[in-house]
Amino acid sequence: MPRESAQPTVHAVVLWPFAQALRRLGLLPPDPGDVLGQDSQWASARVPHVQSQELLQWALEQSGRPDLGVLAAETVEPGHFELIELASRAQSTVGDAIETMSTLVPLLHDGVALKLERGAERSTLRVALSPGLTMLPAGYDFIVASLVIAARRQTLIDDLCPYRARFPYPAPAADAAAPITRVVACEIEYGAGALEIEIDNAHLAIRLVRANAKVGELLREAALELLPQDKESELATAVRAHVRNGLASDAVGSAVIARKLHMSERTLRRKLDAEGIGLREVVDEERKKLALDKVLNESLSMEAIASDLGFTTAQALHRAFRRWTGDTVQAYRAKRRAR
């Protein structure tokens, strides 16, 4: 889930395309000084999410264009999103770019989270808002259209499109839906619980035209330094430590962890729930971290690694590794060697 904040904010570079779209429609956008403060600059300022939605509502009313989100996405020039965009488009593949974007998206909006969930044939990019936040349909349209347009630019494939897009708002009138349908060029569903973009795994493997793994890693690390660092609670840190130590013996259940922490299982679950932590997710995350490190040591057999991580067979580890990374172990090793 997105990082919880008293007042999530959006970077002004996300609002700028909407101002450009208004200008193209012959309308004057709000004065930046009125929106951000007289001493602020569009290039560095952040706006509360609630205020951004109020501005978007004003723009929709002034323009009478329900397709304003698509129009805004089409005004975005290459490089507009600065470091986060540079780091993403230097990655090796479309999938790598999406993973990087997902990690760095708080630089653009700290109330939004992107997560790419890998599947056997297709994967799903889910966009989640922090609890209590809402977004106008034009905002969701802008996210999807921007991602699709960026993917086409970075692959030079003009007809690259998702398999399906699910929007978390009611179906609009046919004429209002036409622009987003034209841009994404895929099956669209409305009324979903969250914004979801299904992508064929073959498309995730497409190489980017500006791929440069070393540059991409450097840019990604530079961008990560700009992210706010959330301090993990003592409980979460302790749970992770016990999970890591218990993986090999499969001593990672809530009853075992609670006993090690000298509390009841019910109390542990209540405290983890209060912090938004799922024990199953923690176990999966710790397995993944250790697996990514251990498979690079080619002197270790897959059977030994599987045993260390609590998998019953090497085949089970291979399946989990593919789910985590979208790659086979061999492909992952080859990519790391190439860096």
Q: Judging by DSSP bridges, how do beta strands 164-167 and 187-190 pair with one another?
A: parallel
For the chain, residues classed under CATH 1.10.10.60 are 234-338
For the chain, residues classed under CATH 3.90.1520 are 9-224
Spell out the CATH class of 9-224: alpha beta
| Res 229: pLDDT | 63
> Into which CATH architecture does domain 234-338 fall?
Orthogonal Bundle (1.10)
Q: Which residues of the chain have pLDDT under 70?
A: 1-6, 30-44, 229-232, 338-339
Percent of the chain with pLDDT over 90: 57
| Res 41: pLDDT | 54
| Res 5: pLDDT | 44
| Res 7: pLDDT | 80
